[in-house]
Amino acid sequence: MTETKANEQMVHLTINNIPVEVPKGTKVMQAAAKIGIDIPHLCYHEDQRAKARCRLCSVEVTGKRRLLAACSTEVWEGMEVHTDTPIVRDTQVAILQLMLANHNQDCLNCARNQNCDLQRLCSRFNILHSNLPNVVKPEPRISTNPSIVRDPSKCIRCGRCVRACKDVQGIEALTYAGRSSDIIVTTAFKKPMETTDCVLCGQCSLVCPTGAIVEKDDTDAVLDALQDPKKHVIVQVAPSVRVALGDAFGMEPGEIVTGQMVTALRLLGFDKVFDTNFGADLTIMEEGSEFLSRLQNGGVLPMITSCSPGWVNFMEKRFGDFTKHLSSAKSPMSMFGAIAKTYYPEKAGIDVKDIVTVSIMPCTAKKYEASRPEMGRNGIPDVDIVLTTRELIKLIKYVGITFKQLPESDFDSPLGTGSGAAAIFGVTGGVMEAALRTVYEKFTGKTLPKLEFEDVRGFKGIKEAEVDLGTRKVKVAIVHTLKNARVVMEQVQKGESPYDFIEIMACPGGCIGGGGQPIGTTNEIRKKRIEALYQLDKSLPLRKSHENPDIITLYKDFLGEPLSEKAHELLHTHYHKVAPLYEFD
């Protein structure tokens, strides 16, 4: 809700004869919410511009011949709104029935069963039997990539995914084709998503109200591995999962559930529960050193972070001639995987062939990253299976764990220690802040007077900061969403980028707002998760990556120095241009 400001013009209206006062410009839907009336909606999403296409939010307004869409109609002085008249009820029920008739209703076989907006509304409006014939066109599920599965027969043409792809990411991989009852949401020329401009970020799956776009489900593979007595199954969990997982179990958005999460993973049967934050600290060691090396030796600048696979895909597809700007350091997930498949078996005395590495990620594109041949060696992938936060929720429910009541426990050693710097990897600005903490101290040899870099924090799309390293000032930028990434990349393309170091994350707010996070993730919730991760950082005794004792040991016992030959072999990679499917020039 918009907060009331002193100079704001207020508008008075009635909704179902109840007087309401709201600021000018408020939409009927928000005015109704203020007095506790939830006007049903499907195409409307609080983070998107109104589309007014599902028409489910139609309301009656005195003096108006037709019903008006509550999502897009601004209130006016003296307006009389009715949300419960016979024609409004008839319209809501009719629209739901029309949608149902053209919706593949195999709800029991659906990833979104019991978490579906259409299902919820049909239940709310007591739709007991449809009076319309089924008109769904049989269409196969489209499962051609490791990340995202589409089921066109479940699409209700609300257009949320199209808006997310266009307005948030600026990609427009999804669009409409055809018209009348043949209209569909599809890709250009109906090509498989991964061959189009799509970067597999999964923001579409996060806003889809039904099961038309979902993550590729890999829970069975994990269950199989867990049941296999020969396999030593280890799991790593990304920083942003621990502040999102609780949402699905009736906890407050942004609640930090690390301890319960670790317990739940143990109960699921993982042999070791490790922390991607360890990988994040390792990333800072390598990426920070790489940046310092580029800075001191005249390397390619700006250097741009490469831990967000949606962003890396975008770079390879859209700015493929500039991949040399990407840090060669692998993502925390893949670094962790590489260590888990080399150092760890050596240390634990286990045959690498028996190790299965699972990662729990907020991200659909991570599934693709794990499948890249670059992320592994001798045919052994760094990471075997990636689950999204949503799939972990399913596993926890499947096993029957009462998550909220679980006792807390700690990550296993030796790959379970992470610094506060690593924790904030999950938010936009966090990688930069973590890197700056290490880069500053390594470059100047001095201790940072203040650990918090306030300029790199916040939800703004493109943030800038300048950091004084004594002999040199470093100009940095922090970018989230690919729409904003395009802006800074066009500067790079023109050779006009004023920055030395850029952090880019594909998803709004960073990984805490990732495409694999719980359904219902909104910008409001993203902001709470961001606060939570900063809180977590603040609460930890260890807040700099280079002070992580397990990381220090790892270098001493195994890797040598950052950027050493071994580090390069295991922890670095190369990115390459991917030719677009079609060129319009």
Partner 1 sequence: MRDIKFLTKNFGKYDTSSIDSYLSIGGFDALKKAVTMEPTAISDLIASVKVKGRGGAEYDMGRKWSQARDVKGDNKLLICNADEGETTTFKDRELIKNDPFNLLEAMIIGAYVVGAVEGFIYMRGEYACYRPLLLDAMRQCREKGFLGKNILGKGFDFDIKLYSGAGAYVCGEGTALIRSIEGKAGRPRMKPPFIKVSGAFARPTCLNNVESFSIVPHLLLDEKGEYASCGSGNSIGTKMVSVAGNVNRPGVFEIPFGTTVREIIYDLAGGVQHNHGIRLIQFGGASGKIADASILDTPYTYEALRGAGVMVGSGGILVIDERTSVLDFLRMNQDFFSEESCGQCTPCREGNLHIKIILDKMAEGKATEEDLRVMEKIARVMSMSSLCGLGETAQNTLMSAMRVFPEVFQAGGAR
What positions carry a catalytic annotation? 287, 290, 307, 327, 366, 369, 374, 511
Helix H or strand E encompassing 274: strand 272-275
**CB-based burial label for 481 (10 Å; 0-12, 13-18, 19+):** buried
3-class SS shares of the chain: helix, strand, coil, % to 5: 40, 15, 45
From the CB of 67, what's the least distance to partner 1, in Å? 5
Q: What count of other Cβ atoms lies within 10 Å of the Cβ of residue 80? A: 14
Closest by Cα among 439, 440, 436, 416 to 548: 416
Q: What residue ranges in 314-367 does DSSP mark as E strands?
A: 355-361
Nearer to partner 1, 122 or 340 (CB): 122
- Give the whole-angstrom CA distance, residue 232 versus residue 98: 50
Nearer to partner 1, 101 or 487 (CB): 101
- Give the whole-angstrom CA distance, residue 524 versus residue 528: 7
For 345-377, letters b (16+ CB in 10 Å) and e give: beeeeeeeeebbbbbbbbbbbbbbbbebeebbe
Closest by Cα among 201, 122, 198 to 156: 122
From the CB of 72, what's the least distance to partner 1, in Å? 5
From the CB of 167, what's the least distance to partner 1, in Å? 14
Nearer to partner 1, 137 or 473 (CB): 137
Nearer to partner 1, 183 or 552 (CB): 183
Nearer to partner 1, 212 or 365 (CB): 212
From the CB of 131, what's the least distance to partner 1, in Å? 5
From the CB of 91, what's the least distance to partner 1, in Å? 5
From the CB of 261, what's the least distance to partner 1, in Å? 40
Nearer to partner 1, 137 or 446 (CB): 137
Nearer to partner 1, 22 or 243 (CB): 22
- The two tokens of residue 126 are 């007591």
From the CB of 183, what's the least distance to partner 1, in Å? 3
Which residues contribute to the site for partner 1 (CB under 8 A)?
50-56, 58, 66-67, 69, 72, 74, 87, 90-91, 94-95, 98-99, 101-102, 131-133, 135, 156-157, 159, 176, 178-183
What separation in angstroms does the CA of 306 have from each of 118, 129, 190, 314, 333? 37, 51, 30, 11, 12
Query: In degrees rounded to 5, what are phi and psi of residue 482?
Result: -75, -20
- Residue 512's contacts (CB-CB under 8 Å, 6 or more residues apart) are 240, 243, 244, 362, 426, 427, 526, 529, 530, 533
**CB-based burial label for 4 (10 Å; 0-12, 13-18, 19+):** exposed
From the CB of 212, what's the least distance to partner 1, in Å? 15
- Give the whole-angstrom CA distance, residue 266 versus residue 395: 12
Nearer to partner 1, 69 or 554 (CB): 69
- Give the whole-angstrom CA distance, residue 188 versus residue 186: 7
- Give the whole-angstrom CA distance, residue 248 versus residue 3: 28
- Residue 516: what residue type? G
